Structure 1
Amino acid sequence: MRYLCLFTFHSTVLVLLSVIYPLSSLLSGAKLQSFKWQEYLSWQRKVNEAKTSAEALKASLGKLNQEKKHQESKWKTFFRRTRLEEIQVVKNNILYLHNIYEVAVLFSTRRSFLLIKSKSG
């Protein structure tokens, strides 16, 4: 029994190697490019400059908005409605029910089909 288990393990290893070896030989032909550190560092500098300029722009816009807004009273801010209450979601379930009706009820048993059939015949 022990020899049978070793044989199945050995055959499994051989199958895996027969699959992995051709793949590795195919991939070894691909050339690896060296990593270009100077380009990476210059890219990092540009990203950092863009982040700092964006933060400065946000800060300046925030200052402008604070200057324009007059301060509301505490009671108005406390009793003000949230924006979520103003949004009304309208869901149209009639369309879905009509689709279920189309699938569930056969065309020949529908009332509209029977009316058309009786008019023509």
Structure 2
Amino acid sequence: MTRRRSSLGFLGMFGRSGDLRELDAAMRGVDLHPALVPEGVKLTIVNLMKDHWPDEPPPQAYPSLAQLFGYCIAGPEAFELANGLELRLGAERRIEAALEAGDSFDAQIVLMALHARLISAEVVERYGLSAD
């Protein structure tokens, strides 16, 4: 009799965390396939959310975050095609405010996209972003 090895790892035994499932669903909601975002980046985003909302991120935080992050990755035109002008303008206002504020939650999300090298070159150029 041959023993079969289980493909369940420690983390796989319990399934994906609710936070990661919500983040994946929110990304899909803005036409960003979660497979395009490395797991380490998603885990960092979830940790940033937990730092920002110590009790628990509210349900509306996930779509809002995904809108900003999705804009950063897709760039203005592609994001607008998938999500409309209103969401594009909202994401652009948030980036502008984040650049003025410095160390805000939105600034951390933009910085995460930049450091992970997922950010659109057009977004980098438009806002003069650098990883200094």
Higher relative contact order (CA 8 A, sep 6+): 2
Establish whether TM, by shorter chain, passes 0.5: no
Indicate the structure with greater helix content: 1
Interval containing the TM-score (normalised by the shorter chain): under 0.3
Calculate the TM-score normalised by the size of structure 2. Answer: 0.19
Larger Rg: 1
